[in-house]
Amino acid sequence: MSKLVRYIFQIVLFFIALPGFSQEISVTAKIDTNIILIGDQIKLNFAVTCPVNYKVAFPVFIDSLSSKIEIVNVSKIDSVYNKDKSKITLNQTVLITSFDTGYYKIPSFAFQYQKQHENNVNTIFSDSLFLTVNIMAVDTNLAIKDIKLPLEAPVTFKEILPYLLSGIGIAAIFIIGLLLVLRYRKKKSNEFLPSRPKIPPHQKALQDLEALRQKKLWQNDKIKDYHSELTEILRLYFEYQFNIQALEMTSDEIIEAFEQHNHNKELKKRLYQILTLADLVKFAKQLPLPDQHDLSLQNAIYIVKTTYAENKIEDTNPATTDNLNEN
């Protein structure tokens, strides 16, 4: 009888453990705490564990998770292998905050993955989380106190003189250093900046983007070359169209400089997608899905056409148009 009980117990344990063995990929979402004060910042951590031969695409985070939860910063994707290097865990941290009190839901997010030697793209979702945002508690029983002003004391010129001389010296060093840096950057940009194209910048950019499409680089596993050339075309376009020194800027600096020339949020969103995906490919060695390659190219074409059209409208002289209508 004891052998039969032991046999049944082993079978039950096997079926309990079976789902764990069949789970090839998993995604978890965790936050530091689910209760914060208004304006506090917490970390939202995503972790995807899968076999090393899987291709995984993380969702692209822009500026918010929902209408009440804003994104402060998004880290690069970090990878950790297990002991036998058969599986890999991909980690990404999103720093979030909220400026409205209440009880909010952090939605689930879709992670796409593709198995080796398969064309099908699968999707797995993270769990949704909940966040409570409270306001700072105020003790209304305490009496209101006046603000105590600082005591004033006379200051002599002898006391100010050392600080004055130090400030003048620091300012002089800073100005000299700034002039030297600007001179060096100007000289460097003149040496390495390609000659200005003879055709309008938007036509040159569109021709180069079409040529890039015809090369089929990512289709031939030259993914890094594809995204490097795509971002370089946009950088040159910004150089000639807006006089932005984009070739010497980081991705964040380009987005900030672009915002000063164009306040279109849709254009900023598309530019962020292009530059973020290119950085992930070049520095984090991420392998995007096929539709993400085409999305970057289509977004680049959209940015060039839209900014050219907007500049063309701005360059139209209203006074000249009125005169023509009167004639």
pTM: 0.39
For the chain, counts of helices (H) and of strands (E): 8, 11
Give backbone dihedrals phi and psi of 217, rounded to 5 degrees, phi first: -70, -50
Give yes or no: residues 56 and 89 share one domain.
yes
Per-residue model confidence as pLDDT tens digits over 151-194: 777 778 788 888 888 889 899 999 999 998 888 776 655 555 55
Compute the distance between CA of residue 233 and CA of residue 210 in angstroms, rounded to an integer. Answer: 11
Residue 99 sits in a domain of what CATH number? Answer: 2.60.40.740
**Structural domain contains residue 320:** no
Structure tokens at 273: 């997608």
Q: Is 111 helix (H, G, I), strand (E, B) or coil?
A: strand
Extract the tokens encoding 127: 């769990």
Strand residues in the chain grouped as ranges (E): 26-31, 35-37, 41-51, 55-57, 70-74, 78-81, 87-97, 102-106, 110-114, 122-125, 129-134
Residues 189 and 205 in one domain: no
Of 134, 154, 173, the last residue of a domain is 134
Same domain, 121 and 179: no
Query: Is residue 15 a part of any domain in this protein?
Result: no
Q: Report if residue 287 sits inside a domain.
A: yes
Please write the tens of the pLDDT for every residue from 82-128: 998 889 999 999 999 999 999 999 999 999 999 888 888 999 999 99
Instruction: Kindly state whether residue 39 falls inside one of the protein's structural domains.
Output: yes
Residues 128 and 221 in one domain: no
Q: Would 293 be classed as within a structural domain?
A: yes
Instruction: Specify the DSSP class assigned to residue 152.
Output: P
The DSSP symbol for 199 reads S
Please give the structure tokens belonging to residue 51: 């076999």
Contact 59, 111 (CB under 8 A): yes
Tokens representing 324 are 């023509």
Q: Are 112 and 174 members of one domain?
A: no
Q: Does residue 107 sit in the same domain as residue 40? A: yes
Residue 159 maps to a domain: no
Question: What is the rounded CA–CA span in Å between residue 164 and residue 258?
Answer: 39
Residues 176 and 130 in one domain: no
- With beta carbons less than 8 A apart as the criterion, state whether 28 and 46 touch: yes
Residues 247 and 208 grouped into a single domain? yes
Residue-level pLDDT at 51:
93
Residues 43 and 128 in one domain: yes
- Count of domains forming the chain: 3
Alpha helix (H) ranges present in the chain?
A: 2-22, 157-192, 201-215, 223-242, 251-261, 265-283, 290-315, 318-326
Which pLDDT value is given to residue 158? 80
Low-confidence ranges of the chain (pLDDT < 50): 1, 5, 7, 9-22, 317-327
Enclosing domain of residue 184:
164-193
Collapse the DSSP code of 63 into the 3-class scheme (helix H, G, I; strand E, B; otherwise coil) and give the result: coil
- What pLDDT, on a 0 to 100 scale, did the predictor assign at position 21? 37
Kindly list the distances between the CA atom of residue 199 and the CA atoms of 189, 204, 237, in Å, as whole numbers in the listed order. 21, 6, 12
Number of Cβ within a 10 Å radius of residue 137? 7
Pair (106, 184) in one structural domain:
no
**Residue 81: per-residue pLDDT:** 93
- Are 76 and 280 within 8 A, CB to CB? yes
Residue 113 and residue 177 in one domain: no
Within a domain: 297: yes
Assigned domain for 208 exists = yes
> Contact, 81 vs 107, CB < 8 A?
no
**293 vs 18, 117, 217, CA distance in Å?**
38, 19, 10
Q: What is the three-class DSSP state of 35?
A: strand
**What number of residues does the chain have?**
327
Sheet-wide strand order for 55-57: 55-57, 110-114, 122-125
